[in-house]
Chain A
Amino acid sequence: MRSPEVNDVMLRVERVSLAFGGVKALTDVSFDIRKGEIRAIIGPNGAGKTSMLNVINGFYHPNRGSITFKGKSRPRMRPYEAARGGIARTFQNVALFKGMSALDNIMAGRTLKMRYGLLWQALRVGPARTEEIEHRQRVEEIIDFLEIEAIRKVPVARLPYGLQKRVELGRALAMEPDLLLLDEPMAGMNLEEKEDMSRFIVEVNDYYGTTIALIEHDMAVVMDLSNRVVVLDHGVKIADGTPDEVKTNQAVIDAYLGVAH
Chain B
Amino acid sequence: MLYREAGQFKTTYAQDMAMFPIRQDRIAFILLLALAFLVVPLLAKLQIWPFGGEYLLRAILIPFLILSLAAIGVNILVGYCGQISLGSGAFMAVGAYSAYKFGTGINIPLAWLGTAIVIPPLPVLPSILLGGLMAAFAGVLFGVPSLRIKGLYLAVATLAAQFFFDWVFLRVPWFTNYSSSGSVNAPALNFFGLTMNSPIERYFICLSFVTVFALLAKNLVRGNIGRQWMAIRDMDIAAELMGIRPLYAKLTAFAVSSFIVGVAGALWAFVYLGSWEPLAFSIDRSFQLLFMVIIGGLGSILGAFLGAAFILVLPILLDQVPHALGIPISVETVSLLVFIITGSLICYLLIVEPHGFARLWSTAKEKLRLWPYPY
Contacts and interface: CB of A to CB of B under 8 A. Distances in A.
Main secondary structure of the interface of A (DSSP, over half): helix
B243 A83 contact: yes
A175 B235 contact: no
B250 to A, nearest CB: 13
Interface string A67-102: 000000000001110111000110100011111100
Nearest to B21: A153
A185 to B, nearest CB: 15
Contact of A108 (B217, B242, B245, B256): B242
A129 B14 contact: yes
B244 interface: yes
Most chain A CB within 10 A, of B237, B239, B299, is at B239
Interface residues of B, number: 30
B219 interface: yes
A133 to B, nearest CB: 5
B200 interface: no
Nearest to B243: A83
B243 A111 contact: yes
Contacts, number: 105
A133 B238 contact: no
Contacts of B228: 108, 111
A128 B239 contact: no
Interface in B71-89: none
A132 B224 contact: yes
A80 B225 CA distance: 16
Nearest to A91: B238
B237 A132 contact: no
B17 A109 contact: no
Nearest to A137: B13
A108 B227 contact: yes
Interface in B205-254: 216-217, 219-220, 223-225, 227-228, 230-231, 233-235, 237-245, 252
Contacts of A118: 220, 225, 252, 256
B241 A79 contact: yes
A219 interface: no
A189 interface: no
A99 B242 contact: no
A172 B239 CA distance: 11
A111 B224 contact: yes
A193 B210 CA distance: 49
Contact of B240 (A80, A97, A123, A172): A80
A122 interface: yes
A194 interface: no
A95 B217 CA distance: 27
A78 to B, nearest CB: 7
A107 B242 CA distance: 11
Given A57-B241, A111-B244, 9 more contacts: A80-B241, A89-B242, A95-B235, A100-B234, A109-B242, A121-B223, A124-B223, A132-B17, A172-B242
Q: Which 8 A-B pairs give the minimum distances between C-beta atoms?
A: A83-B243, A97-B234, A95-B238, A121-B223, A112-B243, A124-B219, A122-B216, A108-B227
13 contacts: A80-B245, A95-B235, A96-B234, A97-B234, A99-B230, A100-B230, A108-B228, A109-B242, A111-B231, A122-B216, A132-B223, A133-B17, A171-B242
